[in-house]
């Protein structure tokens, strides 16, 4: 992946099902939808924020689990029930006055193609659909729900020279909390 392109990224938009999770849906006996999130992906989202990058969740489904996870990770931009992810990305661009080239999007399936069209840097997870992977700038080594988001964030932050400072900032925050 061209590091010059990654240096421009100011915002990472992330799909949920199949990207932050393995894409499985589990229902409790009470009918609640349960999701399993990868902890390494979550920590990387936190590091992304320590590095000064904006983060957004853009998902086609609606779930209280997504809302809770976003809140835990301090992701303030959440688009749930989003049928046109391109429209959501465009709204984010306009609101934050950033260019298409400054947005990276990571997804897994054909419903993420509109989000790709409105983003300058396009990532597909290894377990993603062939149609999406064929349009990606980079396909992760790891599958969705198993560290693919961490892989992307680390790649972006290292290209920007921010990985180590983000890690140190995070560790200082932990020390101050004690």
H helix or E strand, kind and range, residue 176: helix 163-177
CATH number, domain with residue 154: 3.40.50.1000
pLDDT of residue 11: 97
pTM of the model: 0.95
Identify which of 88, 86, 39, 87 has the alpha carbon closest to the alpha carbon of residue 78.
88
pLDDT of residue 1: 80
Give the domain extent around 31.
Answer: 3-177
Structure-block tokens of residue 155: 């790649």
Query: Angle between the 148-159 and 39-50 helix axes, to the nearest 10 degrees?
Result: 20
**Per-state percent for the chain, helix, strand, coil, to nearest 5:** 45, 15, 40
Could you say which residues of the chain have pLDDT below 70?
A: none
| Predicted confidence (pLDDT) per residue in 71-86, tens digit | 999 998 999 999 999 9
Count: domains in the chain: 1
pLDDT of residue 111: 97
pLDDT of residue 178: 75
């Amino acid at each position: 992946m061209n590091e010059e392109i990654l240096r421009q990224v100011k915002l990472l938009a992330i799909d949920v099902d199949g990207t932050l999770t393995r894409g499985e849906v589990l229902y409790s006996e009470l009918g609640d939808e349960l999701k399993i999130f990868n902890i390494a992906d979550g920590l990387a989202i936190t590091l992304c924020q320590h590095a000064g990058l904006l983060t957004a969740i853009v998902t086609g489904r609606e779930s209280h689990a997504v809302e809770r996870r976003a809140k835990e990770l301090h992701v303030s931009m959440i688009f749930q029930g989003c049928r046109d992810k391109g429209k959501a990305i465009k709204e984010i661009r306009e609101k934050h006055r950033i260019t298409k080239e400054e947005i990276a999007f990571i997804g897994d399936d054909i419903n993420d193609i509109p989000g790709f069209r409105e983003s300058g840097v396009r990532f597909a997870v290894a377990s993603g659909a062939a149609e999406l992977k064929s349009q990606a700038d980079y396909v992760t080594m790891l599958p969705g729900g198993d560290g693919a988001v961490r892989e992307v964030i680390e790649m972006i932050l290292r290209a920007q020279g921010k990985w180590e400072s983000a890690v140190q900032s995070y560790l200082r925050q932990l020390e101050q909390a004690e």
